[in-house]
Amino acid sequence: MKRILFITSEANPLIKTGGLADVTGALPKALTGDDVRVILPKYGCIKPEWVEKMRYITNFTVDLAWRKQYVGLFEMEIDGIIYYLIDNEFYFRSPHPYGEMRGDIEKFAFFCRAVLASLKVLDFQPDILHCHDWQAALVPVYLHDSFKNDLFYASMRTVLTIHNLKFQGIWSRDALEDIFGLNEKTYFREDAMEAGGAINMLKGGIVFADRVTTVSESYAEEIRTPYYGEGLDGLLRARENVLQGIVNGIDTDLFDPATDQSLAAPFSVSNMVSAKKKNKAALQKDVGLNEDKNCLLIGMVTRLTEQKGLDLVTCVLDELCGDAIQLVVLGTGEMRYEDMFRRFAAHHPGKVAAVIGYDDALSRRVYGGCDAFLMPSLFEPCGLSQLIALRYGALPIVRETGGLKDTVEAYNEFEQTGTGFRFANYNAHEMLAAIRYAERVFFDAPAAWRAMAKRAMKKDFSWRVSAKKYDMLYEQLVPRAKRQ
């Protein structure tokens, strides 16, 4: 049995701002047969009902450069997984897990040191430290530095998972000694943590981790190119021998249209056709669209940011609204996109619905009621929405990037294969052509559309599949002879 510690800034259900929390909340449960635990900050914004279930373990202090900081240690169990929480109100009392970058740099440097120091007082000595994103990326660096002469840590191996390369934890060079407590001569170098004259926490993790993973196979290839590499493509090419892409999964018990009580008519593959019609009508009524069973209803559940390809939608939506389609958008984000969709909804009443905000139950009704699901992303490390859409029989229309390319098989009308529609280039009219191809299949070949929706629902994107690949990676790092 391998002992694995997930080190993360968020984990569902305790704290969630994005897909990272879904991964660190679901993957440990799928790694059956191993002792997998999770450690994260004890934020002030964790709901009181969770805080009440936490058990205090101990407290101690840790050195952070010239600072000596308090560390409180708590634990709890959720769905058979032990969670440890690092307490320090100076760093974690904020009502939001993330804030301005200078504060976050120090906050997560403290977190990384506190995690490693905590292992000495826990009855748990991991074989693998699985670090997630830049917030945990200093763990491999500190193992290489402050903790390298301690035999307790000598056998520990590190895995760094990059969930989104765009976010790297960058600050000025004075952070090295003043915040991190690292020697500038050793680490302010191009082959360590220096990048463009600044300090880059994610780069440090990539340099010193034993293995580096991303959340899809295609994204692992893309980030080795200048276009997607966010300035680190050269380093990632240099470390490609330890770089691997493993596509994310979804919790298929949580996202199950057969048991989802948010839907007007829960359904499985066997009754999908009739139930989808009822869910479509209910969704149209819920969001103020015309109740039209003969249109192609397209959904988007997304953060309203540039990454999600919304500029392409802006270019062609007026033209697209001349077709027999409807669009429902659920999400929140940048004001310019929120206002954009409000404006389209006002200009095309009954055809476009914009729900600005987030509602979990409504998101499920979008997945369950839509015929198609649009994701024209500029880049997409993995993407979870297309996996949920497939599970709920809403055929994805996606750009061929990252995890979208890996998980949505393009429809082939000659061989009658595929689970959705794809376009290659970041171009609005190429996207429009893909949507109109989907329209043609929907209206002219309804039997083929229904067969494709059933194929989509049968695809297995559960965490069980991904967990097997992670387990193989861990096996490479922890030879069986070294386990207790």
Q: What tokens does 23 get?
A: 């991964």
Confidence class of residue 18 from pLDDT cuts 50, 70 and 90? confident
Q: What tokens does 398 get?
A: 């996606």
E strand segments, 133-233: 157-162, 170-171, 194-195, 198-200, 211-214
Q: What's the pTM value of the predicted model, to 2 decimals?
A: 0.93
Domain ranges of the chain: 3-249+464-482, 272-459
For 295-333, letters b (16+ CB in 10 Å) and e give: bbbbbbbbbbbeebbbebbbeebeebeeeebbbbbbbeb
Q: What's residue 218's pLDDT?
A: 97
Q: Decide: residue 293, CB within 10 A, 0-12 exposed, 13-18 middle, 19+ buried.
A: exposed
pLDDT(79) > 50: yes
The residue length of the chain stands at: 484
Angle, in degrees to the nearest 10, between helices 446-458 and 272-287: 90
Confidence class of residue 123 from pLDDT cuts 50, 70 and 90? confident
Distances 250 to 26, 358, 402 between C-alpha atoms, Å: 8, 19, 16
Q: What's residue 482's pLDDT?
A: 53
Backbone angle region of 278, left / alpha / beta, with phi > 0 → left and psi within -120 to 50 → alpha:
alpha
Distances 315 to 281, 421, 437 between C-alpha atoms, Å: 28, 20, 18
**pLDDT tens-digit series, residues 436-445:** 999 999 999 9
Distances 373 to 65, 112, 300, 301, 370 between C-alpha atoms, Å: 49, 39, 6, 8, 7
Confidence class of residue 1 from pLDDT cuts 50, 70 and 90? confident
CA–chain centroid gap for 195, Å, is 25
DSSP for 364-390, written as a single string: HHHHHH-SEEEE--S--SS-SHHHHHH
Which residues on neighbouring strands pair with residue 300, listed in sequence order?
329
- Is residue 50 within 8 Å of 76, Cβ to Cβ? yes
Do domains 3-249+464-482 and 272-459 share one topology? The answer is yes
**pLDDT tens-digit series, residues 298-337:** 999 999 999 999 999 999 999 999 999 999 999 999 999 9
For range 201-214, the mean pLDDT: 98
Mean pLDDT of the chain: 95
**pLDDT tens-digit series, residues 257-280:** 999 999 999 999 999 999 999 999
Q: What tokens does 269 get?
A: 């593959």
Strands 55-64 and 67-78: antiparallel
Distances 52 to 56, 75, 93, 97, 400 between C-alpha atoms, Å: 11, 11, 16, 19, 45
**pLDDT tens-digit series, residues 239-260:** 999 999 999 999 898 899 999 9
Question: Position of tokens 């690949």?
Answer: 469
Distance CA 38, CA 9 (A): 10
First to last CA, the chain: 8
- Is residue 90 within 8 Å of 69, Cβ to Cβ? yes
Q: What's residue 344's pLDDT?
A: 97
Q: What's residue 479's pLDDT?
A: 72
Domain at 3-249+464-482, CATH class: alpha beta
Q: What tokens does 92 get?
A: 């974690």
Is CATH 3.40.50.970 the right assignment for the domain spanning 272-459? Answer: no
For the chain, give the percent of residues with pLDDT over 90. 96
Confidence class of residue 481 from pLDDT cuts 50, 70 and 90? very low
For the chain, give the percent of residues with pLDDT over 70. 99
For range 29-45, the mean pLDDT: 95
Q: What tokens does 457 get?
A: 């629902």
- Is residue 131 within 8 Å of 137, Cβ to Cβ? yes
